[in-house]
Amino acid sequence: MSRVYKPLPRFKLVSRVENAVRVDAVKGSEPRTPELEIPRPMGARVGERGSSKLVSVWERLQPLLYITPTGRPPLVKGGIVGGEEKRNGTTLGPGFRVYKIRVNKVNKDRLKVLYNYVIHKRDGNIPKGLLYYWEEWARMFENSKRQREEAGKRTPPKAPPLPLLVKFVMPDGERRGNTAAPCAIDLCKGELRIPSYGVVQRLPRRLVDALIVENSLDPRPDFVLQVTRKGFLRLIASRAPPPKQSGGLLLVCMDENLGHGLYTTLISFDGEEVRVARGPTFKPPNAALLRGIAAQLQGAADTGTTAALHTLIEKAYEELGEKREVEGGELYATPDRLRELRRRVCAREKRLNREWRNSVVAWLRRAVRENADARAVVLVDEVTAETARLLRRVTKRLRNLCAYEGAEYKPLRASGKLCPRCSAKGVEVAHRVYKCPRCGLEWNRDRAATFALALNYAKIAKSEALRKALLEWLNEHPRALLS
Ligand SMILES: [Zn+2]
């Protein structure tokens, strides 16, 4: 009987390092503005009359909230109006990726002119392609105006971004997308062009590479370019691949845990045997420390306390990665300086959290894409606690990712305290290590929870073959769940 923890050869990405994966080690080609990738429940809030809620920035960016007039392709294929549809906990409808495109000053001014001309139809000679989504834009604006009124706000809403058709020139010269599109993204020359307004913007290599990959996906995503009233650009890719019917099964088991991070285990099943590989553990950044420092700085700024300020400021700089001697604390102790330092500490906390979320999302995307022939099911034991904002935000992004990549998302519950083999209640024998009083199995609580997710999935999917294969694997690797 082999006692070796058999890794899956196909999961090239899987880190063999048990412990925390460094955040910067997994930076992928994730978009620059990941927050925008989170799809909020749609339709119900924006489309519904009498809803008192305001249209959020995200919702104003949504290209798919409004049905396109007949005879024209919808902004997003497969777009659903009327809310996030759910079936067996699986989210239907497309997933999004949002790419922020940086533009220089000259182009930004030209884009502002474009925006104002098009929304007011100020110029009789505006090329037809630019007006393609004008009606949708106008309706979006009307909707948000009405909602603001209903909410009793006096000030008018900000004008939503203007969606534009976009076409691509691939590195081999092949053209993709609607030929009438006013915007061309040339992946050969690495630039974005809107000839009718003289916009030519160089694109960073990273973005060009990412867009080449997205364009070669099957099915290819739909792309819409958004021009904001301030002249900023966002490229939105949306995609809703049909779920795979054939092929092996890939279970991505993720156990969200407030204090201990996110544990991941990959399990593939070919119908007879399972293969199990440990994924990385994503330890959340120590935000509590930064928050503590920020609160103390705020307190000191408000009250003018000088006690122990020297140490506090030094600690703040250390966390900002600028370790330095602070000479003469009074020099730094003006309230304004303290508030500035506090602002920087808060910004750092935000950045660490964002990078953490990005690393989780990048890893899952790679896991799903590298096993594209398998039917991927992402099992997540979600943390729903009000305090776990970081985890709840990552959960939203995982759902969105699944919709975009054609994976199934399943929230499930699993306990790490019960024996995965015989379901007896385990006894804690070491820190987060449990032993079964009935069958003697030992396991790490967090690791076992990911395995239990797969077992629970076998139960709800009524797959006796999967359940048997999982238990067989466990019998062959009785110490595998210990780390
Ligand atoms: Zn047991």
Instruction: For 402-469, give the DSSP string.
Output: HHHHT-EEEE----SSB-TTT-PBPEEEETTEEE-TTT--EEEHHHHHHHHHHHHHHHHTT-HHHHHH
Beta-bridge partner residues of 234: 100, 226
Number of domains observed in the structure of the chain: 3
Secondary structure element (H or E) that encloses residue 354, with its range? helix 335-370
Contact 282, 479 (CB under 8 A): no
Whether the pLDDT of residue 169 is over 70: the answer is: yes
How is residue 452 written in tokens? 């239990």
Nearest C-alpha neighbor of 166 from the set 226, 121, 100: 226
Q: CA-CA distance, 349 to 290, in Å (whole number)?
A: 6
* Shared domain check, 202 and 110: yes
The tokens of 281 are what?
A: 């553990």
Does 132 lie in the same domain as 273?
no
Separation between Cα atoms, residue 174 and residue 196, nearest integer Å: 22
Pairing relation of β-strands 191-194 and 199-202? antiparallel
The number of angstroms, rounded, from the C-alpha of 18 to the middle of its chain's C-alpha atoms is 24
Å from CA of 440 to ligand 1 middle: 6
pLDDT over threshold 90, residue 454: yes
Q: How far is the CA of 262 from the centre of ligand 1 (A)?
A: 24
Distance 441 CA to ligand 1 centre (A): 6
| 343-401 residue pLDDT tens | 988 998 889 888 999 999 999 999 999 998 899 999 999 887 766 777 888 888 999 99
Q: Regarding beta strands 162-169 and 183-186, do their DSSP bridges make them parallel or antiparallel, or are they unpaired? A: parallel
pLDDT-above-90 percentage for the chain: 46
Residues 255 and 384 in one domain: yes
* CA 464 – ligand 1 centroid, Å: 19
Residues 295 and 153 placed together within one structural domain of the fold: no
Q: How far is the CA of 416 from the centre of ligand 1 (A)?
A: 12
Mean pLDDT of all residues in 156-162:
87
Ligand 1 centroid to residue 421 C-alpha, Å:
5
Kindly state the average pLDDT of the residues 425-439. 95
Ligand 1 midpoint to CA 461 (Å): 23
Q: Is 229 helix (H, G, I), strand (E, B) or coil?
A: coil
**What is the average pLDDT across 242-271?**
89
Q: Are 273 and 469 in contact (CB under 8 A)?
A: yes
Q: How many angstroms is it from 409 CA to the middle of ligand 1?
A: 29
Which residue, chain included where needed, has tokens 């544990």?
263
226 alpha carbon to ligand 1 midpoint, in Å?
Answer: 56
User: Residue 262 above 80 pLDDT?
Assistant: yes
Q: Is the pLDDT of residue 75 over 60?
A: no
Q: For residue 419, how far is its CA from the centre of ligand 1 (angstroms)?
A: 5
Confidence of residue 31 (pLDDT cuts 50, 70, 90): very low
How far, in Å, is the centroid of ligand 1 from the Cα of 414?
A: 15
Its domain, for residue 325, covers 287-351
Q: Is the pLDDT of residue 17 over 60?
A: no
pLDDT band for position 179 (50/70/90)?
confident
Residues 302 and 346 in one domain: yes
Question: Ligand 1 centroid to 469 CA: how many Å?
Answer: 17
What pLDDT is attached to residue 134? 83
Please report which confidence band the pLDDT of residue 318 belongs to, taking 50, 70 and 90 as the band edges: confident
Q: What distance in Å separates the CA atoms of residue 256 and residue 392, rounded to the nearest whole number?
A: 9
pLDDT band at 412 (very low <50, low <70, confident <90, very high): very high
Q: Is the pLDDT of residue 336 over 70?
A: yes
Indicate whether 88 belongs to any domain.
Answer: no
How far apart are the CA of 434 and the centre of ligand 1, in A? 10
pLDDT > 90? residue 429: yes
What is the 481 CA–ligand 1 centroid distance (Å)?
13
99 and 79 belong to one structural domain: yes
477 Cα: distance to centroid of ligand 1 (angstroms): 14
User: Ligand 1: distance of its center to the CA of 443 in Å?
Assistant: 10
Q: Identify the residue with better confidence: 337 or 207.
A: 207
Residues 340 and 455 in one domain: no
- Per-residue pLDDT, 66: 37
Kindly give, in sequence order, each residue whose CB lies less than 8 Å from that of residue 198, ignoring residues fewer than 6 positions away: 110
Q: If you measure from the C-alpha of residue 417 to the centroid of ligand 1, how many angstroms do you get, rounded to a whole number?
A: 11
Task: Say if 316 falls within a structural domain.
Answer: yes
The pLDDT-based confidence of 209 (bands split at 50, 70, 90) is: very high
Asked if residue 15 is part of any domain, the answer here is no
> Which pLDDT value is given to residue 361?
95
Tokens of 112: 């502002």
Ranking 301-310, 346-355, 358-367, 455-464 by mean pLDDT, the lowest is 301-310
Residue 478 in this model has a pLDDT that exceeds 80: yes
pLDDT at 152 over 90: no
Find residue 305's DSSP bridge partners.
Answer: none
Task: Tell me whether residue 18 is in a domain.
Answer: no
Which tens digits make up the pLDDT trace of 104-148? 999 999 999 999 998 887 777 777 788 888 888 888 888 888 888
| CA–centroid distance, residue 483 to ligand 1 (Å) | 17
Label residue 176 left, alpha or beta by phi (over 0 means left) and psi (-120 to 50 means alpha): beta
Distance CA 300, CA 294 (A): 10
Residue 409 pLDDT more than 90? Answer: yes
pLDDT at position 102: 94
Distance from the alpha carbon of residue 259 to the mean position of ligand 1, in angstroms: 26
Q: Would the pLDDT of 51 be above 50? A: no
DSSP string, 10-78: T-TT-----SBPPGGGG--S--S-GGGG-PPP-SHHHHSTT--PPPPHHHHH-TTSSPPPTTS--SSTT
- How close is the Cα of 423 to the center of ligand 1, in Å? 6
DSSP bridge partners of 396: none
For the ranges 1-10, 13-22, 395-404, 411-420, the lowest mean pLDDT is seen at 13-22
What's the Cα-to-Cα distance from 192 to each of 35, 118, 189, 297, rounded to whole Å? 23, 19, 9, 45
User: How far does residue 476's CA lie from ligand 1's centre (Å)?
Assistant: 14
pLDDT of residue 34: 33
* Helices marked H in 216-327: 287-303, 309-319
- The pLDDT value given to residue 328: 61
- Of 351, 366, 388, at which residue does a domain stop? 351
Which of 324, 351, 378 is the endpoint of a domain?
Answer: 351
- Do 147 and 172 lie in a common domain? yes
Say if residue 49's pLDDT is above 70: no
Give 451 Cα–ligand 1 centroid separation in angstroms: 14
Same domain (yes/no): 226, 79: yes
The yes-or-no verdict on residue 269 having pLDDT over 50 is yes
Give residue 94's pLDDT band: very low, low, confident or very high (50, 70, 90). confident
Is pLDDT of 334 > 70?
yes
Rounded Cα gap, residues 238 and 223, in angstroms: 7
Same domain, 417 and 464: yes
Distance 420 CA to ligand 1 centre (A): 7
Residue 11 belongs to a domain: no
Q: Residue 9 Cα, ligand 1 centroid: separation in angstroms?
A: 29
For residue 10, is it within any domain?
no
Distance 471 CA to ligand 1 centre (A): 11
CA distance 454 to 448: 10
Pick from 1-5, 247-251, 292-296: least confident: 1-5
Read off the pLDDT band of 10 (50, 70, 90). Answer: very low
Using the mean position of ligand 1's atoms as its centre, give its distance from the Cα of residue 437 in Å: 7
- Ligand 1 centre and the CA of 442: distance in Å? 8
Q: Phi/psi zone of residue 453: left (φ > 0), alpha (ψ -120 to 50 degrees), beta?
A: alpha
User: Residue 418: CA atoms inside 13 Å, Cβ hemisphere, count?
Assistant: 14
> How far is it, in rounded angstroms, from Cα 33 to Cα 61?
13
- On whether both 267 and 319 belong to a single domain, the answer is no
Residues 369, 394 within the same domain:
yes
Q: Give the per-residue pLDDT at 306.
A: 63
Is residue 325 pLDDT above 90, yes or no?
Answer: no
Q: Which of the 8 DSSP states describes residue 94?
A: -
Task: Report helix, strand or coil for 160.
Answer: coil
**Ligand 1 centroid from CA 439, angstroms:** 4
Task: Indicate whether 4 belongs to any domain.
Answer: no
Q: Which two tokens stand for residue 453?
A: 């997710």
Q: What is the pLDDT of residue 329?
A: 55
- pLDDT value at residue 305: 66
User: What is the pTM assigned to this prediction?
Assistant: 0.78
Q: What is the mean pLDDT of residues 74-99?
A: 54
28 assigned to some structural domain? no
Of 111 and 82, the structure prediction assigns the larger pLDDT to: 111
What pLDDT shows up at residue 332?
A: 61
